[in-house]
Amino acid sequence: MKNILITGGAGFIGSNFIHRLIKEKPEVKLVNLDALTYAGNLDNLKSLEGNDHYTFIKGDIGNQALVESLLLKHEIDTIVNFAAETHVDRSILGPIQFLNTNVVGTGCLLEAARKTWRGRGSDSVRFHHISTDEVFGSLAPNDPPFSESSQYSPNSPYSASKAASDHLVRAYYHTYGLPITISNCTNNYGPYQFPEKLIPLMIMNCLKGKPLPVYGDGRQIRDWLYVEDHCEAIQLILEKGRVGETYLIGGENQPTNLEIIHQITAILDEIVPNSPFRPHANLIQYVQDRPGHDRRYAMDISKIRGEFGWSPTYTLQRGLRATIEWYLSHQDWIKALVEKEEFGSWMKNNYANRGDAK
């Protein structure tokens, strides 16, 4: 792991991972390939400008010729594929982009790696693919958590596209011997997350006194993983993971979406005591649920804990507080994103016609 290509590194998890590697592995050279779609933001990596061990390339993982040239030019031995369309709501309104990026794009990336690394052993190169728990579908209240052997059962265009990409990555291992690992993570949160997602959206709306939209009854259950813990787990998989294996990464908590929102409003009531919108819980508004909304996710992380001794270090309360404090201290970062025309039109299209759920 000397020269790493990180795809989608200007996004939320990718940029956090780059910051971690720059700190933990300063001798490693990083190449960040990102198409800079709406969620890619170079401001996430502004502090790395001028760093000799970091290179940014604007480009699409679907451009196989470009990827091959980067692998050769920078003598890449490790690929970490974060590049993906990730928002379920957007996949419902526009599924084709998800197929293009998550399926075709991943296929081009795999093919470039196969051609460029042909003949190299598993001890010298690695292709790591970042995936999601959503590929496994939805759990009933008393079902055991997902494990690495769980059956795939995706329920949205987003999760179906990620499931397809997982299958492609695994197929390149079994068919061509490409040294791969896969990780499936739960819902991430933390610094630099684009404010269309639940936690940053709730924080942002609280600060502006806007409604806090809750889908359906708000009792959908997710496992929340602080992004710093996720990045540590990915690094361990790159360093110690067994080729061809899948590892589940989770935060070991299962609150409902409504409980998450109440925790956010309570923390904001405490640390922003002069807010004219206190108590912020009064801003909660139930809206029509989205189609095919999975009710529950949960992850069994015993494999990664047993092999590497990894477990999440952030409790949900600690992680939420750290996240809220980060967003409060980065108002200019938020302002630059939400003032973009694309963000405003997206929010209007997604929420304007949902109406009250109760």
Could you list the active site residues? 133-134, 158
Dist. CA 135–CA 138, nearest whole Å: 9
Residue 277: which H helix or E strand, with range? none
Q: Rounded to an integer, what distance in angstroms lies between the CA atom of residue 326 and that of residue 329?
A: 5
* Backbone φ and ψ of 107, nearest 5°: -60, -45
* Cα radius of gyration rounded to whole Å, the chain: 20
Q: How far apart, in whole angstroms, are the C-alpha atoms of residue 324 and residue 326?
A: 5
Number of alpha helices (DSSP H) and beta strands (DSSP E) in the chain: 13, 11
Query: Smallest Cα–Cα separation from 81: which of 57, 111, 61, 58?
Result: 61
How far apart are the two ends of the chain, measured CA to CA in Å? 53
Residue 296 CA to residue 318 CA, distance in Å, equals: 23
Closest CA to 70 of 100, 41, 44, 34: 34
| 78 in Cβ contact with 128 (< 8 Å) | yes
